[in-house]
Structure 1
Amino acid sequence: MTSNSEVTDAGKRNWRAALEVYGQPRVVGMAFLGFSSGLPFLLVFSTLSAWLAQEGVSKTTIGFFSWIGVMYSIKFFWAPVVDRFPLPVLGRLLGRRRAWMLLAQCGLMGGLIAMALTDPTADLATLAWFGLLVAFSSATQDVAIDAWRIEAVAESVQGAMAASYQAGYRIALLTAGAGAFYIASGTSWPFTYFVMAGLVGVGMVTVLLVAEPDASKTAGSQPQEDWVVEHLRRHDFSPAWLHGAYGWVLGAVVCPLVDFFSRYGKQALIILLFVSVFRVTDITLGVMANPFYLDMEYTLAEIASVTKVFGIIMTLGGAALGGVLVVRYGILRPLLASAILAALTNLVFAWLATQNDPGTLSLALTVSADNLSGGMAGSAFIAYLSSLTNTAYTATQYALFSSLMTLPGKFIGGFSGWVVDNFGYVWFFSYTAIAGIPAVLLIVWLLYHDRRQRSAHEQEERTS
């Protein structure tokens, strides 16, 4: 949380000085790293779905391909390794953070080139394995970039770093979404993936130009909790390396979990359940979005212009609205409103699916409703996840939440093609709307619990 002194200092800062922070080399570099982080995401998700759909791959198979994105949902498991283990050669040359980033980017470039060289109609399984390599490398890069961002600048500059990252990330989404569609419409999908592989070089050059944070150069183990030190003192291990490894696991993985459950008690399970189901409705819909647009006979250029370029503009507008609502009404009420809207706007897709001759205007209206609610939900949800973390374990706990929030959606989304093939788009979009009900019910419970806590606290203050 921001202290009163920090607010006062921020208030004294004039506009010119505040804007000058965006000229700092590491803040500028963060935008290019954000581009590198955002580029691969759509290439193994909705853009890949469009390629497979045009190659005649069944909707069921396309749905199963969405499971490649599970890599983003389980990155928490290897995040401690990326966080603390220095690579043998690259680590000495570049430092721990930049070494991991460059290694991940090599995996990205190699995986995208391999995907471009693979024919989906002849060897679909091989394409899936190369897609898995891209997703794993991308998730690993995200862990390293997050660590670099936190360590590279002072806390007062973190807001500028986050804004710079988001700008680069959104440009990357446009590139891998609308850009890829425009290129594919004039050439071919394999050529498009060759171009995207070349754009990974933007991140590679950035890694070579930015400086390694001083914090990540520090050798030695990270500070451990008192109970970990005491636990290790009372338990002797042989050989000695096992003692160190056990302590490392306790400090890197167990401590953040123990801290979270100790702060929230039984409520922690409800919170984790809510985090896991909040994005089920939009992730499940996203798997079949591009195949749906193509089946409705929209051209690649129309899809790129409306759903990618115009859609991202609407998402940014929704995100700005969500941020204002959070400031005005707190986190939980805007979160409830966005959860309801996220489910209801899926029914707009069901309406579009019933149209015999839908025009571009109908598509724009559908995308507007979906992306405005999605942007609003994103702002409220990120604010909520951030409020759950302890500053002593911000990176690890946020990695856990960000992994958990996509895992159920990715799993359920794998069956989306089967639902479409067997029941059609209208029932599919209705089913995705129903999938949003658990999140709405859970946040109603969280609101009720929050009000009870506030009432109990106010009653305690009056009686004291």
Structure 2
Amino acid sequence: MLALQFVRQPNMWAWVLVLVFYKAGDSFGSAMSKPLLIDLGYTLGQVGWISGAVGMAAGIAGALLGGWLVPRMGRIRSLLLFGGLHATTLLGFWWLARYGGEVAAVTWVMALEHWFGGMSAAALFTLMMDACRRPLAGTDYTLQASVQVVVAGLLHSASGFSASALGYEVHFITAFVLGVLALIPVLVWLQRVPGIQRMSWHQVPA
């Protein structure tokens, strides 16, 4: 019932499309980043260090920077720019799949993907908080996060089949294209709620 009430709010259908698609390229592409490194000959220890320690540090730094930039750049501008940059980093994995790479190159690719992933997440989470109704903020945020988790899980599951059937190169190109196409729902939503650029969701007239 609460989920239906949330979706039935003015212009909410357009926002749900953003939730469904915004991280699609990331979920589809990054799921195969670790298997790629293993197949390139990197040890489990190296993969753990690069994707874990380095990736986590870059992701936190990106999220902090993104959180600082969102109110200064505006919500939609941040969502589009950070999402576009994050999608572009997936081409780094295509490059690694095609040409290989030394540890330094792999580390940079992984760090940049996590960095811009953190920035795009900060922009998205800001708008998710804006979309929450004050009396039901916890429930509304959980509903939105659940949409993200379900979509990510489905795309993670599909990514293995994609990489196996198409190869890593085509897989990561596909992920990049998905990431770029995922910005279209943001533009559609902007047409529905144009005032969201510099104010919170519930300050915008329905």
Range into which the TM-score falls when normalised by the shorter chain? 0.7 to 0.9
Separation in 2, partners of 1:370, 1:331 = 21
Q: Are 1:407 and 2:153 an aligned pair?
A: no
Residue correspondence of structure 1 range 420-431 to structure 2 within 5 A: 420-431=163-174
Separation in 2, partners of 1:276, 1:316 = 23
Any idea what the Cα deviations from partners look like across 1:385-415, whole Å, max 9, x if unmatched?
A: 0000011111211111001113223213322
Separation in 1, partners of 2:134, 2:21 = 25
Residue correspondence of structure 1 range 67-146 to structure 2 within 5 A: none
Q: TM-score, normalised by structure 1?
A: 0.40
Is the Cα–Cα contact under 8 Å of residues 306 and 367 in structure 1 kept in the other structure?
Answer: yes
Q: Which residue of structure 1 lines up, in the alignment, with residue 125 of structure 2?
A: 382
Any idea what the Cα deviations from partners look like across 1:329-385, whole Å, max 9, x if unmatched?
A: 2222111111111211111110111124x2101111101220111010111111110
Is the Cα–Cα contact under 8 Å of residues 6 and 12 in structure 2 kept in the other structure?
Answer: no
Any idea what the Cα deviations from partners look like across 1:62-107, whole Å, max 9, x if unmatched?
A: xxxxxxxxxxxxxxxxxxxxxxxxxxxxxxxxxxxxxxxxxxxxxx
SS in 1 for 2:155: helix
Match of 1:306 among 35, 44, 50: 50
Separation in 1, partners of 2:182, 2:61 = 23
Residue correspondence of structure 1 range 72-221 to structure 2 within 5 A: none
CA RMSD of the aligned region, Å?
A: 1.9
Aligned residues: 197
Q: Which residue of structure 2 lines up, in the alignment, with residue 342 of structure 1?
A: 86
Is the Cα–Cα contact under 8 Å of residues 25 and 179 in structure 2 kept in the other structure?
Answer: yes
Match of 2:8 among 250, 261, 264: 261
Q: Which residue of structure 1 lines up, in the alignment, with residue 201 of structure 2?
A: none
Structure 2: which amino acid aligns with 1:344?
T
Structure 2: which amino acid aligns with 1:338?
F
Q: TM-score, normalised by structure 2?
A: 0.88
Q: Which residue of structure 2 lines up, in the alignment, with residue 369 of structure 1?
A: 112
Q: Are 1:326 and 2:90 an aligned pair?
A: no
Is the Cα–Cα contact under 8 Å of residues 278 and 339 in structure 1 kept in the other structure?
Answer: yes
Q: Are 1:273 and 2:20 an aligned pair?
A: no
Q: 1:260: Cα distance to partner?
A: 5.1
Structure 2: which amino acid aligns with 1:307?
S
Separation in 1, partners of 2:16, 2:39 = 37
Structure 2: which amino acid aligns with 1:384?
L
Q: 1:438: Cα distance to partner?
A: 3.4
Q: 1:431: Cα distance to partner?
A: 0.8
Separation in 1, partners of 2:171, 2:45 = 25
Summarize the Cα distance change of 1:406–1:428 in structure 2 as closer, same or farther, 3 Å threshold.
Answer: same
Structure 1: which amino acid aligns with 2:170?
W
How much identity, in percent, do the aligned residues show?
23
Match of 1:294 among 38, 47, 67: 38
Q: 1:286: Cα distance to partner?
A: 3.0
Higher RCO (C-alpha under 8 Å, 6+ residues apart): 2
Summarize the Cα distance change of 1:438–1:406 in structure 2 as closer, same or farther, 3 Å threshold.
Answer: farther
Rg bigger for which structure? 1
SS in 1 for 2:106: helix
Q: Which residue of structure 2 lines up, in the alignment, with residue 351 of structure 1?
A: 95
Q: 1:274: Cα distance to partner?
A: 1.0
Any idea what the Cα deviations from partners look like across 1:9-58, whole Å, max 9, x if unmatched?
A: xxxxxxxxxxxxxxxxxxxxxxxxxxxxxxxxxxxxxxxxxxxxxxxxxx
5+ residue gaps, structure 2: 198-206
Q: 1:423: Cα distance to partner?
A: 1.6
Summarize the Cα distance change of 1:450–1:355 in structure 2 as closer, same or farther, 3 Å threshold.
Answer: same
Summarize the Cα distance change of 1:276–1:306 in structure 2 as closer, same or farther, 3 Å threshold.
Answer: same
Separation in 1, partners of 2:159, 2:6 = 37
Q: 1:453: Cα distance to partner?
A: 8.1
Match of 2:136 among 376, 388, 393: 393
Q: Are 1:284 and 2:31 an aligned pair?
A: no
